[in-house]
Amino acid sequence: MSEYREIITKAVVAKGRKFSQCTHTISPSQKPASILGGWIINHNYDAQKNGNTVEVEGTYDINVWYSYNENTKTEVVTERVEYVDVIKLRYKDDNFLDDEHEVICKALQQPNCLEVTISPNGNKIIVQAEREHLAEVIGETKVCVHVNPDGYDDNDEEWEELEEEFEDLNPEFLVGDVEE
């Protein structure tokens, strides 16, 4: 009998991550006088493997609170943004079987506003945003393992000795002084 076996198993066979910064231009209904706040909510995304990359398609809502009419009134403008991030993959495994795979994608950094400003002409709002994703491809791969010729040793005597030691412990016992 050989001392090594090849086993086919699922494992992370490729990884990639991408940090993105982008600028969005929003057209509010009123001419903004000042920016009072900006935030991003409702982030949703899906990832698919495409060749040696993972494409992350997503959407989020940008909300900007601004004043207008010489800072006498306020309004919140909302705009839905769509994006596609292409993540290059680095393969860790030459034995990757590309027939079936699963893509796991995590947002390491949810989209957020870096800066919200009024455009130089004064009619629009400029939002600078950032986000970061990590993609992992799970696929079948071949691993080589050493086989123990003596088989598996199911020796639980060590565990039984530990259990006997713990039986005599008082769970109400505290070490040291307790100050209130």
Q: Which two tokens stand for residue 72?
A: 């006498």
Mean pLDDT estimate for the chain? 87
**Tell me, what DSSP letter sits at residue 158?**
H
> pLDDT class for 150, splitting at 50, 70, 90?
confident
pTM for this entry: 0.74
Least confident residue range of 23-32, 116-125, 149-158? 149-158
Task: Give me the helices (H) in 1-133, please.
Answer: none
HSE-CB for 28 with a 13 A CA cutoff: 27
Residue 20: Cβ within 10 Å count:
16
The count of C-alpha atoms lying within 13 angstroms of the C-alpha of 131, restricted to the half-sphere facing its C-beta, is 26
* Longest CA–CA separation in the chain, Å: 87
Over pLDDT 90: what percentage of the chain? Answer: 62
CB atoms within 10 A of CB 63: 18
Tell me the C-alpha to C-alpha distance, in Å, between residue 174 and each of 162, 163, 165: 21, 20, 18
